Amino acid sequence: MHTEKVVNAAQDVAEILAVHMSWLESNNDLVIEKMYPNFANPGYLQFNLNGHTYTSVDEKVKLWEGLHGIGFSLADMKIVEEPAIHAEGDLAYLTTIWSAIVTGTGSTGLMKVDEEPTVFRVTEVYRRDDGTGNPVWKIWHFHASPIAPPSTPRFPQES
């Protein structure tokens, strides 16, 4: 018997956005218990702002524990540009722009402690799979990088 999967794009977008917002909120003060459930486990991959790659949620937990250990944290996480979500079947990606106040006593890689918000672009890749085959939207890949200052030349230059 062939059964077709019913696609509900609005529901998919709502579920993905809920995961995204939970992930964003967990970044305020780097709350591991709030962060952990948003990601595929196993299977998660992150290119972190510190320039390193993390290949599991457990590695990400150790990263956040290490950041807590050096007094580094994020605060006042905000969406600067509303997320754009593109979903098809069991795969999706989300793009957005976030800002955060970087707090603490040190810096890590590209994120420096500063009173001014750090603004960065974000890409998240989702699958409707929690890493063990359950059909739940989870983040499988996350990448963020700083926004180029407006004075930075763009090539080819815009006319």
Residue 155 neighbours by CB distance under 10 Å: 5
Summarize pLDDT for 139-154 with one digit per residue, the tens.
Answer: 999 999 888 888 888 8
Q: Is 67 helix (H, G, I), strand (E, B) or coil?
A: helix
What are the chain's domains? Answer: 9-146 (3.10.450.50)
User: pTM for this one?
Assistant: 0.87
Summarize pLDDT for 88-117 with one digit per residue, the tens.
Answer: 999 999 999 999 988 876 656 556 666 788
pLDDT of residue 2: 44
Summarize pLDDT for 19-40 with one digit per residue, the tens.
Answer: 999 999 999 999 999 999 999 9
